[in-house]
Chain A
Amino acid sequence: MATQTERVYVLPGDEIPTSLIPSHPKRPLRLGPGVRHVPPSELVPTVAGELVTDQKKNSIWVEYNGGRYVPAVGDLVICTIQRSGPEYYHASITDYSSNAILPQLAFEMATKKTRPQLHHGDLVYARVCLANRHMDPELECVSPTTGKADGLGPLVGGMLYDISLAMARRLLMKKSVEEGKVAVLEELGSAGLAFETAVGRNGKLWVNSESVKTVLLVGRAVKETDENKLGVEQQKKLVRKLIKEMS
């Protein structure tokens, strides 16, 4: 991530100063979410947020916290099965929008004879493999190259929490503590609680543990961090307070 002394915030339609656009001798410039290319050479932001550039990868994008999730290829989402059709499951990624399609054979080791039995209301951790503005999105629970699940598939037990899209993105970052500034889950783990989580880019967090109290604690910690926009120090204080309350 390019270290800039000051952050640049843009509104849709703003002009991006050419000094900020990175250049690389070999790689072409890659546009991430929130930036659109207007030929011949104009770059226009389409959402309001912080303009971020990366010198190494030669890319430019906008970090924003929207309300509605727009499916993008490669995203990991937690979806809820609504009904099962002849060859596909219909799963809901976001409330009040059309359902996504999950092929019944897109699971690890699934053949026509051995299909997973999923019912209305079951949760599935899947990856978006087709996302087009004009069509219903498509999901898969298996890696397209290796054929292995890699942790995708039905989620059993546990509890589902709603989090903001920006929080989901920060939790899914590779270095969520340094770059995403989300230390809650690490702190709770080092405090001795045993739990597992799955984060959906569509704003959903799934938590499971043997004890109900642990799940409630983890859920509350993440939701409070999200709603009150706590910094790393405040998150540590929150975790200490919750652990004390529990014991």
Chain B
Amino acid sequence: MPREVEPSQNERAFVIQALQEGQRLDGRPFDQFRKLDLKFGDQYGVADINLGKTRVLAKVSAEVTTPYSDRPFDGIFTITTELSPMASPAFEVNRPTETEVLLSRLIEKTVRRSNALDLESLCLIAGQKCWSVRVDLHVLSHDGNLIDASCIAVVAALRHFKKPDTSIEGDTVTIYTAAEREPVPLSWLHSPFCITFSFYGENGEITLTDTTLLEEQLRVSSCTISLNKHGEICQVAKLGGTPVEALSLIQCASAAIAKVKDFSTLVDEKLAEDSKRRDRGGLLAELSAENDR
């Protein structure tokens, strides 16, 4: 298996020196994100994120299965991440690297454990039938900051997804196709986003957000904070690395709030654009089976 390629000593020394002079390689300010492009697919539940040269694709699918025996009233929700060999020869299909394991753990903790998706709403018949929602995350191109991009992709895809409408009579569940009844969106409680901060310098005094691959390979430590736009923190992960001043972490958390609000507005806007595009003639409100009562 080819190993990850390390940057040369010249690059290492230069990037650190440039950071100490206040310059970043691509000329961005230290706290600015690269251009973020969010596109939805024709099918419900497909989100394609471009963050600079990093590209992530999330796809949501749902099917009816039996719930876990210890949780008869909850549906099933799984997130699988795949670092595609398209992104780098260092990634192989069924062999998770350290990056992949960390990425899937962080996304799990952020989206699953924070109860962003209401699992009880996925239950059809208690103990017998429930929806199993599955998110497949594919990393197509890796130029740094996979965690932030993946989280936006997962959240956007889940909010975009619509599951088939159902009706229950006694013990029978009827699932309607898209042609019979308009699909319904998932029951979404809050939108958590991740912001990753990378630290440089002997004491971790320089902080960068949205690092490229080269900057990521040269950082001395990193901290990922997941929160939603109301300021509710889902998790803070600083996995090893150089110790950092507590004050820096608090500053990072306040910077994260501002960024998350931007992400929230961006995702809301794109979702609104997409539904307007699909809702030609304004008939969607009439097709929906939801009652106002």
Contacts and interface: CB of A to CB of B under 8 A. Distances in A.
B27 A220 contact: yes
Interface in B57-101: 89-90
Interface stretch (B5-13, B173-181, B226-234): B5-13
B23 A121 contact: no
Contact of B2 (A96, A156, A213, A216): A96
Interface stretch (B14-22, B157-165, B244-252, B267-275): B14-22
A119 B9 CA distance: 9
Contacts of B8: 80, 121-123, 160
B13 A157 contact: yes
Contact of A212 (B6, B10, B17): B17
Interface in B1-48: 2, 5-15, 17-18, 21, 23, 25-27
Contacts of B27: 216, 220
A216 B25 contact: yes
B14 A121 contact: no
B9 A121 contact: yes
Q: How large is the interface on B (under 10, 10 to 19, 20 to 34, 35 or more residues)?
A: 20 to 34
Contacts of B10: 121-123, 155-160, 206
A157 B10 CA distance: 5
Q: How large is the interface on A (under 10, 10 to 19, 20 to 34, 35 or more residues)?
A: 20 to 34
A150 interface: no
Interface in A95-115: 95-96
A215 interface: yes
A92 B90 CA distance: 16
Contact of B21 (A157, A160, A212): A212
Contacts of B21: 212-213
B32 to A, nearest CB: 16
Contact of B6 (A121, A123, A216): A121
A119 B18 CA distance: 23
B14 A159 contact: yes
A216 B10 CA distance: 14
Nearest to B2: A96
A158 B14 contact: yes
Interface in B246-264: none
A216 B19 CA distance: 12
Nearest to B15: A159
Contacts of B23: 212-213, 216
A220 B23 CA distance: 13
Nearest to B21: A212
A121 B12 contact: yes
A123 B14 CA distance: 13
Contact of A160 (B6, B11, B90): B11
A235 B7 CA distance: 29
Contacts of A220: 26-27
Interface string A25-36: 000000000000
Contacts of A215: 14
Contacts of A155: 10
A95 B14 CA distance: 20
Contacts of B26: 220
B52 to A, nearest CB: 12
Interface string A141-168: 0000000000000011111100000000
Contacts of A95: 5, 89
A5 to B, nearest CB: 38
Nearest to A154: B10
11 contacts: A95-B5, A119-B9, A121-B9, A122-B8, A123-B8, A158-B14, A159-B14, A160-B11, A212-B17, A212-B21, A216-B27
Given A159-B11, A212-B18, 17 more contacts: A80-B8, A95-B5, A95-B89, A96-B2, A96-B5, A96-B89, A119-B9, A121-B6, A121-B10, A157-B10, A158-B10, A158-B14, A159-B10, A159-B15, A160-B11, A206-B10, A215-B14
Interface of A: 80, 92, 95-96, 119, 121-123, 155-160, 206, 212-213, 215-216, 219-220
Interface of B: 2, 5-15, 17-18, 21, 23, 25-27, 89-90
- 10 smallest beta-carbon distances between A and B, as pairs: A121-B9, A159-B14, A96-B2, A96-B89, A95-B5, A80-B8, A121-B8, A212-B18, A160-B11, A123-B8
